[in-house]
């Protein structure tokens, strides 16, 4: 009798538990329960695209994202929506080394819900092991559905993966990284990729890579020789963005052109300087990019001002976006060489000057950039040519910064400017221009972002000077967007300074 009574009581408790969980499932998320399933599917897809995309998780982690399984376990309603949305099941993330491999049977079960959609696949395969061979065979089965392929593998695995693959009709992105730290350069051929648009190659010779380049619009390469870079330009006629992370001398892998090769589709060039500065010359001497609009340069030493000016003049291009990034010596962003470069690029509308956040050297140089921008706000007896007359957006990342010079850009302090020396000439006969900065036609600068890297991270960035603060507030009231932040904490320096001085 007692056993029967206990069994009935246990059954009742289990029933109550099920009832409570059902009630909780209906009430815990009124948003998803209150919108049509089609909208909920879009919300889930947006979440997975942002959180579980190949670039947003640690590829060497054994706990590879479970994707839609995370969502389907929340409640019955979510499970129904997730299971009925094939798009949510079309991503594959695999990790493999000598001791562990993501369970392929579980991935196969997930893929059954994806229908015939193109797949987003990321793979980190540490070694050419038996488990790695299993993964390669599994991926080859999926080749007709490859949409995005991001691979970090042992060099010996690339040929087996791509061998005998004759058709990849949906492949749009191919990002591959040679994991070897030694001089092992894999080779492969990949045919019939009519939709291939985006390619990244790290640790490959271009001579060893057989891909169709006629449809590629974006490519990123690592340490190509000058002749390899030129060959990419030859083979990719509609390339619009070219990112080159360092490059070497001419290796004679491909013939150099007798006259500069003209590429009329590239609009965005991102270039990390070579280890040897002299390598800049043969690259620019053999190419011409007349439609170049955006240029990003990461110098290893000084900015090659003369070479860049010569190249841009020969290209006859109109640079509207210039980014100098990862600068190790802050003084390079304050000296006359930078001013010389900018003075020759009067079409710039967006300018970013960013020191390297960890190892950059602090500089005590005068900030000629801020002072030249100030000169555009004042009227000289013998006016110079306009300096960056079309500049709309300015982004700076610095370790040292003069808030007084910065405020002068918007509302010049006559007493400060009289003592300044611009281009070696004392400015003595000037008066602030009767120029309303609200007039974007005459004063186009609308947006300024400044990240200050604190000298001592524990203390943060000092507050803006009390004497300067009113001019910056006045600029924001005139419609100028000022995003002034502590680089480490993200704190708004303008608002913090206002609160600090108000409390004193």
Residues 6+ apart with CB under 8 A from 483: 447, 448, 449, 450, 492
pTM as predicted: 0.84
The model's pLDDT over 117-150, given as tens digits with 9 standing for 90+, comes to 999 988 887 665 555 677 888 889 889 999 999 9
Beta bridge partners of 319: none
**Pairing mode of beta strands 421-422, 425-426:** antiparallel
- pLDDT band (50, 70, 90) for residue 427: very low
C-alpha to C-alpha distance for 22 and 76, rounded to whole angstroms: 8
Backbone angles phi, psi at 23, to 5 degrees: -65, -45
DSSP 361: B
Q: How many CB atoms lie within 10 A of CB 425?
A: 10
pLDDT of 447 over the 90 cut: yes
pLDDT the model gives residue 199: 96
- pLDDT band (50, 70, 90) for residue 33: low
- pLDDT band (50, 70, 90) for residue 229: very high
C-alpha to C-alpha distance for 306 and 236, rounded to whole angstroms: 29
The model's pLDDT over 315-364, given as tens digits with 9 standing for 90+, comes to 999 999 999 998 877 767 666 788 889 999 999 999 999 988 765 555 55
DSSP codes joined into one string, 143-192? GGGEEEEEEEE-GGGHHHHHTT----TT--EEEEEE--SSS----EE---
- pLDDT band (50, 70, 90) for residue 449: very high
Q: What percent of the chain has pLDDT over 90?
A: 27
C-alpha to C-alpha distance for 243 and 260, rounded to whole angstroms: 19
pLDDT of 281 over the 80 cut: no
C-alpha to C-alpha distance for 164 and 188, rounded to whole angstroms: 10
193-226 as b/e: b if 16+ CB within 10 A: beebbbbbbebbebeebebebeebebbbbbbbbb
Q: Which residue has the higher pLDDT, 50 or 378?
A: 50
pLDDT the model gives residue 21: 65
Beta bridge partners of 122: 93, 150
pLDDT the model gives residue 289: 96
Closest CA to 149 of 130, 128, 126, 176: 176
pLDDT of 47 over the 60 cut: yes
DSSP codes joined into one string, 86-105? GGGG-EEEEEE-SS-B--HH
Q: For residue 374, what are the CA distances in angstroms to 368, 377, 388?
A: 10, 5, 11
C-alpha to C-alpha distance for 391 and 442, rounded to whole angstroms: 11
User: What's the residue count for the chain?
Assistant: 504
C-alpha to C-alpha distance for 245 and 221, rounded to whole angstroms: 6
pLDDT the model gives residue 59: 42
Closest CA to 145 of 124, 164, 117, 126: 117
The pLDDT of 240-266, averaged and rounded, is: 91
238: burial class by Cβ within 10 Å (0-12, 13-18, 19+)? middle
pLDDT the model gives residue 122: 86
pLDDT the model gives residue 313: 94
pLDDT the model gives residue 31: 64
C-alpha to C-alpha distance for 64 and 146, rounded to whole angstroms: 19
């Amino acid at each position: 009798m007692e056993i029967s009574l206990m069994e009935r009581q246990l059954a009742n408790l289990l029933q109550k538990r099920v009832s409570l969980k059902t009630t909780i499932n209906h009430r815990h998320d009124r948003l998803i329960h209150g919108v049509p399933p089609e909208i909920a599917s879009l919300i889930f897809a947006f979440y997975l695209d942002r959180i579980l995309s190949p670039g947003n998780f640690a590829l060497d982690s054994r706990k590879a994202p479970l994707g839609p399984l995370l969502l389907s376990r929340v409640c019955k309603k979510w499970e129904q929506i997730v299971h009925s949305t094939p798009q949510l099941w079309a991503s594959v993330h695999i990790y493999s080394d000598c001791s562990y491999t993501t369970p392929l049977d579980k991935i196969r079960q997930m893929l059954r819900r994806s229908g015939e959609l193109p797949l987003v696949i990321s793979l980190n395969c540490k070694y050419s092991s038996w488990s790695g061979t299993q993964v390669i065979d599994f991926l080859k089965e999926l080749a007709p559905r490859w949409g995005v392929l991001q691979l970090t593998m042992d060099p010996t695995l690339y040929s087996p993966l791509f061998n005998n693959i004759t058709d990849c009709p949906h492949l749009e992105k191919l990002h591959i990284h040679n994991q070897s730290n030694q001089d092992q350069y894999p080779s492969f051929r990949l045919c019939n990729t009519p939709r291939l648009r985006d390619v990244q190659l790290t640790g490959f010779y271009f001579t060893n890579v057989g891909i169709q380049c006629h449809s590629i619009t974006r490519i990123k390469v690592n340490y190509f020789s000058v002749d390899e870079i030129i060959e990419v330009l030859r083979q990719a006629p509609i390339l619009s963005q070219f990112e080159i992370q360092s490059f070497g001398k001419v290796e004679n892998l491909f013939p150099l052109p007798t006259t500069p090769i003209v590429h009329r589709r590239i609009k965005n060039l991102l270039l990390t300087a070579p280890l040897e500065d002299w390598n800049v010359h043969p690259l620019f001497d053999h190419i011409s990019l007349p439609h170049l609009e955006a240029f990003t340069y990461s110098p290893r030493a000084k900015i090659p001002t003369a070479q860049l000016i010569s190249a841009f003049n020969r290209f006859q291009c109109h640079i509207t976006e210039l980014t100098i990034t990862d600068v190790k010596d802050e003084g390079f962003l304050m000296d006359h060489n930078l001013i010389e470069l900018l003075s020759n690029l009067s079409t710039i509308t967006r300018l970013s000057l960013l020191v390297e956040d960890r190892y950059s050297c602090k500089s005590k140089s005068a900030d000629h950039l801020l002072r030249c921008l100030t000169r555009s706000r004042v009227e000289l007896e013998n006016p110079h040519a306009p300096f960056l007359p079309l500049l709309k957006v300015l982004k700076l990342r610095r370790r040292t910064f003069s808030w007084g010079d910065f405020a002068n850009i918007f509302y010049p302090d006559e007493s400060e400017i009289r003592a300044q020396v611009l281009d070696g000439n004392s400015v003595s006969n000037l008066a602030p221009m009767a120029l309303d900065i609200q007039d974007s036609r005459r004063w186009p600068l609308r947006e300024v972002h400044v990240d200050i890297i604190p000298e001592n991270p524990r203390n943060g960035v000092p507050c803006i000077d009390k004497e300067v603060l009113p001019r910056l507030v006045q600029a924001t009231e005139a419609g100028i967007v000022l995003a002034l932040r502590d680089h480490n904490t993200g704190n708004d320096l303008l608002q913090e300074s206002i609160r600090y001085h108000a409390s004193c």
